[in-house]
Chains A and B, each alone.
Chain A
Amino acid sequence: MKIIIAGDGEVGFYLAQLLEKEYQDITLIDKQSDKLALVENKLGIATALGDSMSYKVLNEAGVQNADLLIAVTSVESTNIATCLIGKKLGAKFTIARINNMEYLVDKDMLDLRELGVDELVSPESLAAREVKYLLKSPVLTEVFNLYKKDLYMIGVRVEDDAPIVNKSVAESAPLLSNSSFMIAAVLRNEKTIIPTGDLQVLKGDLLYFVATDRGKDKVLEYAGKKIIQIKNILVIGGSKTGKYIALRLGKYYNIKLIEKNLEKCNYLAKTIPNVQYVCGDGADVGLLEEEGISNFDAVIAVTGSAETNIFSCLLAKDLGVKKTIAMVENIGLFDYSHKLGVDTLINKKMAAANFVFRHILKGRVLTQLHGINVEIQELIVKENSKIINKPIKELIFPENAIISGVIRDGKGYITLGSFELKANDTVFVCSIPESTKEVMSFFN
């Protein structure tokens, strides 16, 4: 598959890095030669120097026979123009990164798809959406949307007094019986385990569930979590992500947003209603205390600096805030932040990459869940396959992989042992990367 990525920024580089692992034919376009040199050294992929809107540069990158053109520079208009030009020059599918949500929301006015931009992605908006899911069920460590509003991947840490502690998965089966959720993976001491019937659940395990919308609350009961209600939110940082959080959540929560830059603050105050704005430094302890940080149910730190975000969240945690979410772009800091006690981390690069992957790897959703080493694949059951019309527990399924959810006729289902697959079902399989090939051949 020939892929062109325009823009060697954070998102572009991260995408290139992930796709390179998949042995895709990738060309990266950027205006800065030193950045490209670094990419060539680190990833060993092809590069093209110049403006991605230039015919010459696009041709040099091989746009005529590109399967996919992803424009993720920081400039929205460049991205859109690159996609429009690229599409006409031969790219089969184009994705543009945007900031202006109008393009997504007001499709009736003008659908960019008709012009040649096949998909739009806004990393900041995706991050804000993730925050929205997390706040709806704040005790969850992670929420990842698998399929529309039907199937979610949920991460929950097991508490001491949970009913399932020290029981095997099979033993706790009665609790699972309403088939609205199932365990798909377990993270224990930084090791990823795909569960079998005899796996013992220990306290401190991070369980990953696949659940239907209804099942989300049941999961909490199962893992011994009390449901907490979030009402007051402190957002630190008026970055684009912060802006989208204010925009999306202002109606539902009492939000206070702290931003250092007065001009930015004024701009937000003028444009986004239902939010209280404070001009000040999010890393200033005195200010945070003055603003009553301990009175908030959740603190979401989304400044441009990961260190500030982590620090603010730790401070909040220390002062008794129930839920802390930090935006951390540096993936290397993930483990430490979790260990230090930040509840949840979000990363807009990963959010964007996950989104893009859904459109690239037909039949495969490569989902990078934070900190856990699993891949989720999306596979379609063939008409004459041997695996249909048999309960799943009778199948000889590859090791370290588990069928975790099915989409049938546009609805999501949880696949417990007695579930029978049918032709044309879309199946989600959760596996550790080493088993990926086996799983694919199983379905072929």
Chain B
Amino acid sequence: MNLSQNSKFSTFKMIFRQIGGLLIILGYTMVVPLLVSLIYSELYSASGFLLSGLICYVVGFLLYKKIKITVEPLNRHALIIAAMGWLSVAVMGALPFIIIAFITPKEIAQQFVPSFADYQSSIFYFKNPLHAVFESMSGFTTTGLTMAIHEPSIGKGLLFYRSFSQWIGGAGFIVLALAILSQSSGKVAFLLYGAESSGERLRPTIIETARSIWKIYLGVTIFSFIYLVIGTYLILPEYNITEIIFDSINHAMTGQSTGGFSTLDDSIAGYHSQAMDILYLLPMILGALSLPFYFRVFHDKEYNQFWKNLQTRSILVACIFGGIILSFMLLKSGVISEPYRIGFFQFISALTTTGWQTSDVHTWDAASIVFIVMGAMIVGGAAGATVGGIKIIRVLLIFKGLFWHLNRFFSSENTIKVVKFNNRRFLPDEMNKELASTATFSFIYLIFVMASTFITFYLMGPEYSISDALFESASAQGTVGLSCGITNPAMSPTLEITYIIQMWAGRLEIIPILILFRTVFFGTKPKVV
């Protein structure tokens, strides 16, 4: 065996071993929805989770423990691991949907359907594995597009699993694996950490950083939960208390992860209450703030960060102004009955890439749709949060770069054109470097959205327009989850696969996916010209 084959083989082994680690974690996480199913005496769901958990665990265990690795991952390997790892998690995470869809008898499933409704349980859509993978990918990438048309009809166990998958996926699977397994060396951990999230190092070691992130994440989620329980109870006192708790747990998790799955048939609109709409704004905004920011505030006690932190400040400002603008646009179009309520809620839901919906976007005018796509969904929340999109900091950097390019014409040739951004001072070279990588990423991002818009346009139903196609595509790419109706179990499989790839790429900020494709199609040899 020659050397290059040897190294290729060991590269695969290394990647599969890491994926094994992720699958073990995935296996463990299925214990939680298993317990929830048992609480609600949904025995078929419980056995579905048990079975899928065991499969994940055994596969993971075999990969992780039986593969002996000889080489340490390099930077590109870390990116490939991230891409492959997330794909594997999404595929294996689809198991409960498929298994439960097949084992649950029709009459049992029909019990999940509310008594006043006359539709079929949505559970059976998941007999199609593609739908299951779509749902799972939408969950783990915190998107929130769904194949379960009538959410309540899939049972509490699966509902919880969807929310829980978003919550786990939000802070990151690899971060979770690093925090729990803590077996990787510092360098490897750092590479993996960087591949999944563009995160900063909060603690001296990455393992500790990963743990801090999870602690903060859990803390804010618990806060959201308490806030939602109290808020819902005050606003809707006649609502069943166990339902309030169940909804609040799920919504706290999907809000903090900016996932946007809901336990209600019509998302937050299902409450039919303006006060509830307002109540749900806060969890979305909390989810869009970066986790390092929370760390600064609560661990380092830097309370002035609320205004000093550029990202946090920009998100708060963008929420207010974007909400106002969208409200006015909707008011002008005249097709929406409550433009302010809808405008603010939907803009914030889109900017934070949460995806809770209170309005049928399909009925909106094209200008409002394009505005929410360009101004909110493509922008996204803070880097270091669970959001998708280009991230607000990159957008700000590009604008800063634009002004910098203009301003430099006004200083003399020899002047060092320093630029100040996010409390850091950049020399021209550094700024050019930052701008180049940011612009490249943003450009690739827009290309993805564009390409998918056209694919959508030719594969969607005849009742939709090009602006609907743009909306749906940006929603998938930005892991937002707002839908104008194009996403449904009857959609074209090609389009469904396109969206799966988009969500996957959107969560990992595209580059790891491109690296994976490059490796698969062109190998790992450096390009020589």
Contact = CB atoms under 8 A, between A and B. Distances in A.
Interface of A: 265-266, 269-271, 273, 276-280, 287, 290-291
B413 A270 contact: no
Which 4 A-B residue pairings sit nearest by Cβ, starting from the closest? A277-B416, A269-B416, A269-B418, A280-B414
B427 interface: yes
8 contacts: A266-B427, A269-B416, A270-B418, A270-B425, A276-B411, A287-B414, A290-B412, A291-B414
Contacts of A290: 412-414
Contacts of B414: 278-280, 287, 290-291
Interface in B381-435: 411-416, 418, 420, 425, 427
A278 B412 CA distance: 8
A237 to B, nearest CB: 15
Contact of A266 (B413, B416, B420): B416
A276 B415 contact: yes
B418 A291 contact: no
Nearest to A257: B416
Contacts of B411: 276
Contacts of A269: 416, 418, 425, 427
B412 A277 contact: no
Nearest to B425: A270
Contacts of A265: 416
A249 to B, nearest CB: 18
A269 B420 CA distance: 10
Interface residues of B, number: 10
A291 B412 contact: yes
A431 B415 CA distance: 49
B400 to A, nearest CB: 16
A279 B415 CA distance: 6
Given A279-B415, A287-B414, A290-B413, 7 more contacts: A265-B416, A271-B425, A273-B425, A276-B415, A278-B416, A280-B414, A291-B414
A269 B411 CA distance: 15
Contacts of A277: 415-416, 418
B419 to A, nearest CB: 10
Interface of B: 411-416, 418, 420, 425, 427
Contacts of A273: 420, 425
Contacts of A278: 412, 414-416
Contacts of A271: 425
Nearest to A287: B414
A437 B159 CA distance: 98
A269 B427 CA distance: 7
A65 to B, nearest CB: 49
B415 to A, nearest CB: 5
Contacts of A291: 412, 414
Q: Which of B416, B425, B427 has the most CB of A within 10 A?
A: B416
A265 B429 CA distance: 13
Contacts of A279: 414-416
B416 to A, nearest CB: 4
B427 A270 contact: yes
Contacts of A280: 414
A269 B414 CA distance: 13
Nearest to B430: A270
Nearest to B424: A270
A277 B414 CA distance: 8
Contacts of B412: 278, 290-291
Nearest to A280: B414
Nearest to A274: B420
Contacts of B415: 276-279
Contacts of B420: 273
Contacts of A276: 411, 415
Nearest to B426: A270
Contacts of B413: 290
Nearest to B429: A266
Q: Which of B412, B413, B414, B427 has the most CB of A within 10 A?
A: B414
A270 B451 CA distance: 41
A279 B427 CA distance: 13
Contacts of A266: 416, 427
A339 B61 CA distance: 88
Contacts of B418: 269-270, 277
A266 B416 CA distance: 7
A61 B414 CA distance: 51
A441 to B, nearest CB: 59
Nearest to B420: A273
Nearest to B415: A278
Q: Which of B411, B415, B420, B425 has the most CB of A within 10 A?
A: B415
Nearest to B413: A290
A269 B415 CA distance: 10
Nearest to B411: A276
A287 B414 CA distance: 9
Contacts of B416: 265-266, 269, 277-279
A317 B427 CA distance: 33
Contacts of B425: 269-271, 273
B328 to A, nearest CB: 38
A269 B425 CA distance: 8
A411 to B, nearest CB: 38
B423 to A, nearest CB: 10
B425 to A, nearest CB: 5
Nearest to B418: A269
A287 B413 CA distance: 10
Nearest to A266: B427
A388 to B, nearest CB: 55
A331 to B, nearest CB: 33
A276 B425 CA distance: 13
A291 B427 CA distance: 20
A273 B421 CA distance: 12
A287 B412 CA distance: 10
B342 to A, nearest CB: 44
A287 B415 CA distance: 11
Contacts of A270: 418, 425, 427
A279 B420 CA distance: 19
A109 B415 CA distance: 37
A257 B411 CA distance: 13
Nearest to A277: B416
A407 to B, nearest CB: 41
Nearest to A258: B414
A290 B413 CA distance: 9
A270 B425 CA distance: 5
A287 B425 CA distance: 25
